A and B are shown apart, each in its own frame.
Chain A
Amino acid sequence: MAMRARQKIRAPRRGLNTNKNDDFETNWEGLSTSLKKIHTKDASNLSFEQLYRNAYNIVLMMRGEELYERVKMLEQGWLDTEVQKRVTVAVSSVLLQAMDQAEIQDQENERRDNGERFLNVLKEAWEDHQVSMGMITDVLMYMDRVVSADHKKPSIYVTSMALFRDSVLQSVVRADADSTVADVLKSTVLFMIQLERSGQMINRLLIRHCIYMLEGLYETITEEESSKLYLTMFEPAFLETSRVFYKAEGRRLLETGDAATFCKAASDRIAEERARCTSTLSPLSEPKIKDVLDKELIGSNIAEVINLEGTGVKNMLDNDRTDVLRNVYVLSARVDSKKTPLTAAVQKRIVEMGDEINKSAIAAAQAQPTRSAEKTAGSGKKSAEKPVNLQTMSAIKWVDDVLGLKTKFDKIWEESFRSDPTMQSAITTSFSEFINSNTRSSEYLSLFFDENLKKGIKGKTDAEIDALLDNGITLLRYVKDKDLFEAYYKKHLSRRLLMKRSVSMDAERQMISKMKMEVGNQFTQRLESMFKDMTVSEDLTANYKEHIRQAGDPDQKPVDLEINVLTSTMWPMEAMSTIKGDEVQLPCVFPKEIDNLKQSFEQFYLSKHNGRKLSWQASMGTADIRATFHRSSGKVQRHELNVSTYAMVILLLFNDVPEGESLTYEEIQARTRIPDHDLIRNLQSLAVAPKTRVLKKDPMSKDVKPTDRFVFNNDFQSPFMKVRIGVVSGSANKVENQDQRKETEKRMNDERGGSIEAAVVRIMKQRKTLVHSKLMSEVLSQLSARFVPDVNMIKRRIESLIDREYLERVGEDPPTYGYVA
């Protein structure tokens, strides 16, 4: 056993100890002639086993490194003498001359033919080299394993590839010229690409093969990905020429002056370059050429394209050219995730169109302000048939127009902007911008709801109503001052409820729940309690009637009382009563019958609810009275008059006035103590309105003056048994006049002041101490759901809270507040 082991081991040791040079030489000789045969494609009769054994033996002799060097030399020699010559011969003078000039039209064909020939030769040389080296590497497998592993040398294949790079690609083409084969290759390929860009057919496959070569060669021996010749040598030049080309291309396209054409051409170019990267060049370049395109062709031109006069985005939006817009969007999205020029253009257009709508609404409202006011007087009931209230109409038209605009842009957003969230927020911003630039938007919107709930939804299906309300809600989303909207809505709602003008209570409730979803619980709380008051009041009325019946009231002429008890904090009392400021207003003097009734109810109510205070709002009520008209002919005509409570009080006065006698305005006022404002309006509707002239006024004029005298009009004529006598203005919901607006604003500001203080205290109670700027931002964020508070107002409120010792100043730099418990 031992003998065997020893004996077998000796063989390699001999090679190690006695360098038998002749052995090495014999082995090498056999090997080198065979390697040459491989290069001359004469290898089919060579025996792999024999060549391998030659190499193996040399390596076992510990002379692997020498072998490695010899093979390297052999390859160097082969490349230098044979291959290099073959390649340089193929470089024609046309190619050399053309290198510097970018475009020479007259030599185009010649250059092209020569170029293809050259590329073919180069490609063949490269492929031959690859195949031969593959075979040689196979044979030298063992050497590679030993030498490369032990001595950290690159494998022979890698080395020979580097040799090809140095000896062939980087060899000088002519003795007198300093351009290398690689330079010629580069300029030729770029020339071909130039040809293709200008619309000619080229041999893509051939170029692809040459690019394969550049991709397979590296600058360094370690073969890092980034040192590919393609990346170091060819790609920068390619990108540079592309940059120049697309800069010019962009300018050329802009000169055509048509945005649609530009977008089409740009999209085509993008597709073309992508195809070029996969079929002709290397996929590695795809992102880079994309960058070039984005920067040169799109990025620097897109803003101009979007703003092109006549064909730009404005035109596309106006003509609903969704397909072109989509192109614009796609291009913009490539260069800029924010798509600034496009959003700017779209926003600008939205605001423009919005402003137009605003303007037309204001124009319509102001067209005949006086006339419309006149017309509404006394004909509020018939406003459905006639375009009486232009302002209300214009408010509704405004909402409709805005909704139309919204639908249009929603469609564009979906179809052209691929539901891009950035675009959506841009559109939303611009809508909210122009909607809020119209100071009356809250009022208009509330009027829109009012109009629809009163009349618009008659005969519509549930789904239609739903859609209608939803549209309104969408606009509500844009309105910043939600509290203002709430105030108007409350006002309009209270009228609808008290006057029973609502078409469908279901729709009202639906509306409330929609608002709740959109704006929040707090917002609708008061509205809901208004509804609650209404139902409670119904029960109350029924109970009171029951109570009267049981009490067996001796009153011969019972007056039916239908009462609505309203929680004063929930209802817009300010809007209903006409009390202004601190002016003390004595309550209206009711006729005796009514006063009895009032006292009886008060008794009934207070016995049920102890500690409450009832205040009567005569201005809100209505009354049905039966009037008897003694005609001069002796006939007696009866009419049932539906009038406001004040009107009833006025009319009842005339019960005690003898036939033919008259009462002056002052007398009436003295007896009833009805506020001036209400009295004038009621007298107007009773004595001025042509169809409901129950009283006669002297002198006959439109205005009611304190000196006017009134007399009961026994000649009152009406085709109907029941006559409804509305009160001039105030009864119908319509656009406020300037004074009212100021009023509302003032109220709004007071209310906001309260909200702000509440918010400040809430925050401070929680935080104890807080820096001024942080407090501001928290207040703003807390209140933004309802309205956008004025910063100065917040400051004033904070000052006031400090004065009242809710807060104290803690530090000056930065200004800090503390909560005083």
Chain B
Amino acid sequence: MSEPTVLRKDQLEISLHNEKKLIKEGAIKDDNPLDLSDPFRELCAACRKGDLKVCQEKISEGVNINARDPYDYTPLILASLCGHYEVAQLLLESGALCERDTFQGERCLYNALNDRIRNLLLEYDYSKSTDPIQPLAAHISSLITRDHPVTSDIVVTAEDESLYLHKFILSARSPYFRTKLAAAPDTITWKLPNTIPPQAFAAAIKYLYFGEASRELRSGPGTGFTESEVFTGIDRIAKHLEIDTLVDSILDSGDRRLARQRRTAELTKGRDQLEEWFRSNVLHNKLVVETSKAGDVKWDRNNAIFADVLLQADELLGDTDEYSNGALQPGDCADTGSKEQRQKSVLFPCHRAMLLRSEFFHTMFSSQFREAHLEDHLHIINVDCSPDVLEIILMFLYTERADFPLDVAVDVLFAADMLFIEKLKTKAAVVISTLGSGNMSQAEAAKTRGTTEEDDLDIYAIIRAAWMTRVQRLEEFAARYLAYRLEAHIDSPEFAQLIQESASRIQGRQETDSIELLDDIRFYLGERFRLRFTDAGLEEMMEEEAEQHATGAITNDGSIEEVIHGIETIDLTEKGVEQTSQRGQDHDHDIRNLNGEIVGDEFDQDSMNYDILMDKLDQILESLDLEA
């Protein structure tokens, strides 16, 4: 299916038919299996509606996002067909496939509602390898050859070749090694019986380290072994180490599609093995001690779970501001010591090899500082976050899994930023921007216009966090969030302050007059209202909006045109402005009252609301400009 030539229609049909037959026979797996379960149906419905929150929930539940419904729609097709950019992005990031030259892939591309979505889909073509586990696999494979910093703890010698390996990976991936190493955990060398060709062993090890199985077995003249010898060697070693699928995956490596499917399966399996091992060893062995005594914990270098470093996370003391501050700066011992409560710390025994995935740890272990020196007892390294968050981070580093609730997402974001784990940062941003989106989906917004629902997150805090951790996506999310609830925020002093902060941020960077946050809010505001303008009014509104943007962009100019325009808009909605400013946050309600008297048309009401909000933004700007 990967031939570059374009197939004729009949050829295409034949190949589709053959594919179906193969799937029926069980030779290959269907990329898009039929799924009639309720959760999948809900996911599909959410994709139609553009409900980010439900989508994220379903994805974390583990619904197969590449399945199809009875009408052969996959969630990705639905999302792109209905024009929900954010949903499509979320699906693609979570591993939804949109592969060119496949039936479903091309369908997805042709169905895309607009070019923006289409381009997004093309960006995620299969060649970019969207398999979510791939980064983990790549890291582990690289461990075989990585020689700095040293992380290996066992040397396996076969004839003249030596492999520097990691006991915990061997133990996690092969039942054989697990029992062997459990019996003698302090083994540091292991000699291969010379009946097995070293090439065969190398292939097996590569397999255990998530490497791609390859047919190149380095056999032939000069190596002393023929291909068949190596092959039987692999067969034997696979039985020996109890890794039954190795031989199959080497045999299958000829067929690209089959190999890919097998590899995906292998990776998932390997990940699950690692996860199981991680849970039963690392998490199982975590220690809870008082913070003041944490330094006394001594772990011998030779331990049953082959850990070579201890990570310490301190629990928070209570809920008050002072305590949380203390917790964030544990170096400040006097402060915490003065409190009566005893602070607890959690110690996780970890493996440097996995921690290296964080640039922070990588630099740490490569440097010449204390942490990099090997001593008899394991180093205890403080990580400045709560034990829960550290556990999430470790889970991510070991297994690539990052499922966590919204309430710790901000913490994870900060910790990931501190430890330089970009993927986890993105993941945290995704969690916040999807689960936090609440009733923000466009369909919802249409119905619940003006309702004042209790927000479940502090958007001001979120936007500041976004600035600090430099996550563009989160900034956009916050702007969208604010735009959809602008009625509730526009009059609060906190909002004005936020605008000012945004302005100062940008001015600190370079001398431009636009305020990023405000521009974003305007953009999403336009998006929110544009949906419900009539066809006739739409163009007008677009023009007006464009003008508004223009005026917004040159606010400091104070040009005459702008002033006149401003007066006009104020005149138009004078009443509304007065009303809303008097009654504060409930202005929508007032307008509805007015509506009955003055206009009597929903659309007019919307456009009036829009004008009012835009006008208010200008007012805020004006007042801030005066101050500035």
Interface flag for B572 (CB, 8 Å): no
CA distance A45 to B321 in the complex (A): 34
Interface flag for B10 (CB, 8 Å): no
Q: Please tell me if the beta carbons of A53 and B363 are within 8 angstroms of each other in the complex.
A: no
Which of B60-68, B105-113, B247-255, B365-373 binds A?
Answer: B365-373
Chain A residue contacts of B368, Cβ below 8 A: 43-44, 131, 135
Question: Whose C-beta in chain B lies nearest to the C-beta of A23?
Answer: B329
Question: Pick the contact of B509 from A45, A54, A151 — CB < 8 Å?
Answer: A151
Interface flag for B411 (CB, 8 Å): yes
Q: Please tell me if the beta carbons of A9 and B461 are within 8 angstroms of each other in the complex.
A: yes
Q: Please tell me if the beta carbons of B461 and A135 are within 8 angstroms of each other in the complex.
A: no
CA distance A53 to B369 in the complex (A): 14
User: If A5-B461, A46-B369 touch, does A141 touch B363 (CB 8 Å cutoff)?
Assistant: yes
CA distance A6 to B414 in the complex (A): 14
Interface flag for A188 (CB, 8 Å): no
Interface flag for A48 (CB, 8 Å): yes
Interface flag for B381 (CB, 8 Å): yes
Chain B residue contacts of A50, Cβ below 8 A: 331, 382
Q: Please tell me if the beta carbons of A56 and B363 are within 8 angstroms of each other in the complex.
A: no
CA distance A12 to B411 in the complex (A): 12
Q: Please tell me if the beta carbons of A4 and B462 are within 8 angstroms of each other in the complex.
A: no
Chain B residue contacts of A57, Cβ below 8 A: 329
CA distance A13 to B408 in the complex (A): 18
Question: Pick the contact of B367 from A4, A48, A56 — CB < 8 Å?
Answer: A48
Chain A residue contacts of B276, Cβ below 8 A: none
Q: Please tell me if the beta carbons of A9 and B382 are within 8 angstroms of each other in the complex.
A: no
Interface flag for A408 (CB, 8 Å): no
By secondary structure, the A interface counts as helix
Chain A residue contacts of B455, Cβ below 8 A: 2
Q: Please tell me if the beta carbons of B324 and A53 are within 8 angstroms of each other in the complex.
A: no
Q: Please tell me if the beta carbons of A53 and B382 are within 8 angstroms of each other in the complex.
A: yes
Q: Please tell me if the beta carbons of A1 and B407 are within 8 angstroms of each other in the complex.
A: yes
Which residues of chain B (291-331) have a CB below 8 Å from chain A? Answer: 319, 321, 324-325, 328-329, 331
Interface flag for B420 (CB, 8 Å): yes
Interface flag for B364 (CB, 8 Å): yes
Q: Please tell me if the beta carbons of A135 and B468 are within 8 angstroms of each other in the complex.
A: no
Interface flag for B180 (CB, 8 Å): no
Q: Please tell me if the beta carbons of A48 and B372 are within 8 angstroms of each other in the complex.
A: yes
CA distance A52 to B362 in the complex (A): 13
Interface flag for A150 (CB, 8 Å): yes
Question: Pick the contact of B464 from A2, A13, A54, A142 — CB < 8 Å?
Answer: A13
Chain A 639-665, CB-CB to B under 8 Å as 1, else 0, gives 000000000000000000000000000
Chain A 125-136, CB-CB to B under 8 Å as 1, else 0, gives 000000100010
Distance to closest chain B CB from A580 (angstroms): 78
Chain B 253-275, CB-CB to A under 8 Å as 1, else 0, gives 00000000000000000000000
Chain A residue contacts of B462, Cβ below 8 A: 5, 9
Distance to closest chain B CB from A344 (angstroms): 54
CA distance A13 to B458 in the complex (A): 13
Chain A residue contacts of B359, Cβ below 8 A: 141
Chain B residue contacts of A149, Cβ below 8 A: 470
Q: Please tell me if the beta carbons of A14 and B325 are within 8 angstroms of each other in the complex.
A: yes
CA distance A330 to B382 in the complex (A): 67
Interface flag for B406 (CB, 8 Å): yes
Question: Pick the contact of B382 from A43, A49, A142 — CB < 8 Å?
Answer: A49
Chain B interface extent, by class: 35 or more
Q: Please tell me if the beta carbons of B509 and A48 are within 8 angstroms of each other in the complex.
A: no
Chain A residue contacts of B212, Cβ below 8 A: none
Question: Whose C-beta in chain A lies nearest to the C-beta of B369?
Answer: A48
Interface flag for B115 (CB, 8 Å): no
Question: Whose C-beta in chain B lies nearest to the C-beta of A146?
Answer: B470
Question: Pick the contact of A5 from B373, B383, B457 — CB < 8 Å?
Answer: B457
Q: Please tell me if the beta carbons of A48 and B370 are within 8 angstroms of each other in the complex.
A: yes
Interface flag for A8 (CB, 8 Å): yes
CA distance A517 to B509 in the complex (A): 78
Question: Pick the contact of A9 from B325, B363, B458 — CB < 8 Å?
Answer: B458
Chain B residue contacts of A142, Cβ below 8 A: 418
Interface flag for A47 (CB, 8 Å): yes
Question: Pick the contact of A44 from B321, B373, B383, B509 — CB < 8 Å?
Answer: B373
Chain B residue contacts of A503, Cβ below 8 A: none
CA distance A50 to B295 in the complex (A): 14
CA distance A9 to B462 in the complex (A): 8
Chain B residue contacts of A6, Cβ below 8 A: 458, 461
CA distance A16 to B465 in the complex (A): 12
User: If A52-B360, A53-B384, A56-B418 touch, does A7 touch B319 (CB 8 Å cutoff)?
Assistant: yes
Interface flag for A10 (CB, 8 Å): yes
Chain B residue contacts of A141, Cβ below 8 A: 359-360, 363, 420
Which residues of chain B (339-366) have a CB below 8 Å from chain A? Answer: 359-360, 363-364, 366
Q: Please tell me if the beta carbons of B420 and A8 are within 8 angstroms of each other in the complex.
A: no
Chain B residue contacts of A5, Cβ below 8 A: 406-407, 409-410, 457-458, 461-462
Question: Whose C-beta in chain B lies nearest to the C-beta of A27?
Answer: B331
Distance to closest chain A CB from B383 (angstroms): 8
Q: Please tell me if the beta carbons of B370 and A47 are within 8 angstroms of each other in the complex.
A: yes
Chain B residue contacts of A4, Cβ below 8 A: 407-408
CA distance A43 to B370 in the complex (A): 8
Q: Please tell me if the beta carbons of A9 and B369 are within 8 angstroms of each other in the complex.
A: no
Question: Whose C-beta in chain A lies nearest to the C-beta of B460?
Answer: A9
Chain A residue contacts of B407, Cβ below 8 A: 1, 4-5
CA distance A60 to B360 in the complex (A): 16
Chain B residue contacts of A116, Cβ below 8 A: none
8 pairs, CB–CB < 8 Å, chain A vs chain B: A1-B457, A2-B455, A6-B458, A12-B464, A14-B325, A49-B383, A138-B367, A141-B360
Q: A13-B464, A53-B382 are in contact. List 18 more A-B contacts (CB 8 A).
A: A2-B456, A5-B409, A8-B411, A9-B464, A9-B465, A10-B324, A14-B321, A44-B369, A47-B369, A48-B364, A48-B367, A52-B360, A131-B368, A135-B367, A138-B366, A141-B360, A150-B470, A150-B509
- Residues of A bordering B, CB below 8 Å: 1-2, 4-14, 16, 43-54, 56-57, 60, 131, 135, 138-139, 141-142, 145-146, 149-151
The 7 nearest A-B residue pairs measured at CB: A9-B461, A48-B369, A4-B407, A6-B458, A48-B364, A1-B407, A138-B363
